[in-house]
Amino acid sequence: MSDTKTLYSAHVHVTGGRDGVARASDGRLDVKLATPGGTGPGTNPEQLFAAGWSACFEGAMAIAAKAKGVILPADLAIDATVDLRHGEDGYSLAARLNVSVPGVDAEMARQLIEAAHRTCPYSKAIKGNIDAVVALV
């Protein structure tokens, strides 16, 4: 029996797939979806994943920083790239996070990034499932 407690559940209804719409049950998300590289309005699942992972990762860094008594700079930034790939085995994803932590010693920044990568739920979800790189820049 698990002692895991659900802290939050996101409920999103999607119609139309990559050229449809996504709406959250609480009304806070209502986006038009679009095929990657298309010229029409809307975002795509890869962009949403990049935004979600980087936001979650920054939160995990904040928890790691607090545990070490480090104050993260206000201009901490994460540039996320999610690649949609196609090969012999079909479609897949690859992802990269480039993390900038100005004013924090490089070794401490690496420690915070490593701790965040171990604890971020997105990082845990993709571990061993897609090519993923997290780097200090």
pTM for this predicted structure: 0.93
Q: Are residues 29 and 89 in the same domain?
A: no
Q: Which domain holds residue 4?
A: 1-43
Helix (H) or strand (E) holding 44: none
Q: Are residues 53 and 15 in the same domain?
A: no
Q: Are residues 13 and 74 in the same domain?
A: no
Q: Are residues 9 and 67 in the same domain?
A: no
Cα distance between residue 23 and residue 81, in whole Å: 24
Q: Are residues 29 and 67 in the same domain?
A: no
Q: How many CA atoms lie within 13 A of 81 on its CB side?
A: 11
pLDDT tens sequence across 75-107: 999 999 999 999 999 999 999 999 999 999 999
Alpha carbon of residue 81 to chain centroid: 9
Residue 1: the pLDDT is 58
How do the pLDDT tens digits run along the chain, 137 residues long?
578 999 999 999 999 999 999 999 999 999 999 999 888 899 999 999 999 999 999 999 999 999 999 999 999 999 999 999 999 999 999 999 999 999 999 999 999 999 999 999 999 999 999 999 999 99
Q: What is the CATH number of the domain that holds 59?
A: 3.30.300.20
Number of independent structural domains in the chain:
2
- Residue 84 phi/psi, 5-degree rounding, is -95, 120
For 130, the 3-state DSSP assignment is coil
